[in-house]
């Protein structure tokens, strides 16, 4: 359970923004979406490899 302490003189919008950031870091929504449909482990691994290769390519191009 997430607990957000609203500080004195802090707007509700700011506290809501902190809540959203904490909620995103927990990964609950991402896991929920992943569980809505079954995906074979081989496809999951393939996606991870493709994503890693893309990131590596992007970081390599930044150095030049």
Give the start-to-end residue ranges of the domains of the chain: 13-62
Helix axes 28-35, 12-26, angle to 10 degrees: 50
Q: CA 62 → CA 19, 33, 48, 49, distances in Å?
A: 33, 32, 21, 20
- The radius of gyration of the chain from alpha carbons, rounded to an integer in Å, stands at 18
Residue 2's pLDDT band (cuts 50, 70, 90): confident
> By the 8 A CB rule, do 3 and 18 touch?
no
Q: Tokens standing for 33?
A: 């979406």
> By the 8 A CB rule, do 26 and 2 touch?
yes
Question: Could you read off the pLDDT of 23-58 as tens digits, one per residue?
Answer: 999 999 999 998 999 999 999 999 999 999 999 999
Q: What is this structure's pTM?
A: 0.58
């Amino acid at each position: 359970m997430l607990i957000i302490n609203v500080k004195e003189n802090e707007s509700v919008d700011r506290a809501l923004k902190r809540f959203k950031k904490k909620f995103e870091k927990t990964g609950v929504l991402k896991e929920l979406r992943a569980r809505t449909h079954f995906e074979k482990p081989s496809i999951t691994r393939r996606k991870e490899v493709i994503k890693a290769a893309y990131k590596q390519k992007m970081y390599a191009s930044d150095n030049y």
